[in-house]
Amino acid sequence: MAFFTRLNWQTDQDYLDCVQDLLDQEQVQSLADFVHHNYSNRLEHSLTVSYRAFCLARKFGLDKRATARAGLLHDLFFYQVWQKDQYGPKGHLYEHPRIALANAKKLTHLSDLEEDIILKHMWGATRDVPKYAESWLVTLMDKEAAMLEVSTGFYQASKGLSIRYGNALASLAVSFFISGPKFK
Ligand SMILES: [Fe+2]
Ligand SMILES: [Fe+2]
């Protein structure tokens, strides 16, 4: 996705120093197997949120390492969102930050700040109000990424549709021009 590739996180050594050990983990890489916001996958989304929040944390002198790491792990859950038997009775929006937190704890040690970032990232949809500035960055970047992913995907899908319909109309016009009208 164009929005994603413009981020250049791959060449930012400062960022990679914070998250490379997590990116090397099979569980993190497996996030690429899950659809996210209809048009993206969960690894792309997590990297987008992590890197954009990291850049802001670096700019404002906040804890960039915690922001990058917890941002990358904020959606560490391994089910498709339509698999309703995979989460608890309070619903996906409420349950998945808790599932992600439990999964993240199995991968790495988390500070209080990192736990807060993961647990509170669904603020707005839940009543979990972020405690730290870094948590606010991640929840805001999460919402921004979601909007961009959905709107970019929708734009690409509608562009594909208009190309298909455009091609069909052009073929119809050509065949009409060659063979003439079939009705009187
Ligand atoms: Fe989430
Ligand atoms: Fe997210």
- Residue 3: pLDDT over 50: no
Closest residue by Cα to residue 17 from 75, 53, 58, 68: 68
Q: How far is 134 from 64, CA to CA, in rounded Å?
A: 8
pLDDT on residue 158: 74
Helix (H) or strand (E) holding 36: strand 35-36
Q: Which ligand gives the minimal distance to the CA of 47?
A: 2
Q: How far is 69 from 138, CA to CA, in rounded Å?
A: 11
pLDDT on residue 4: 46
- Delineate the domains of the chain, giving CATH numbers in brackets: 2-179 (1.10.3210)
128 CA distance to ligand 2 middle (Å)? 15
- Residue 133: pLDDT over 90: yes
pLDDT on residue 151: 84
Residue linked to tokens 């190309």: 163
> Of 4-8, 64-68, 154-158, which gets the smallest average pLDDT?
4-8
- Residue 25: pLDDT over 80: yes
142 CA distance to ligand 2 middle (Å)? 5
The three-state secondary structure class of 141 is helix
pLDDT on residue 164: 62
pLDDT on residue 155: 73
Number of Cβ within a 10 Å radius of residue 28: 22
Q: Which ligand gives the minimal distance to the CA of 119?
A: 1
157 CA distance to ligand 1 middle (Å)? 24
> Of 28-42, 89-103, 124-138, 158-172, which gets the smallest average pLDDT?
158-172
60 CA distance to ligand 1 middle (Å)? 24
34-92 pLDDT, tens digit per residue, is: 998 877 899 999 999 999 999 999 999 999 999 999 999 999 999 998 998 888 899 99
- Residue 175: pLDDT over 80: no
14 CA distance to ligand 2 middle (Å)? 22
> Of 1-10, 40-49, 74-83, 163-172, which gets the smallest average pLDDT?
163-172
62 CA distance to ligand 1 middle (Å)? 22
Q: Which ligand gives the minimal distance to the CA of 71?
A: 2
For 22, counting Cβ atoms within 10 Å of its Cβ (0-12 exposed, 13-18 middle, 19+ buried), the class is buried
pLDDT on residue 62: 98
Mean pLDDT score of the chain, rounded to an integer?
Answer: 88
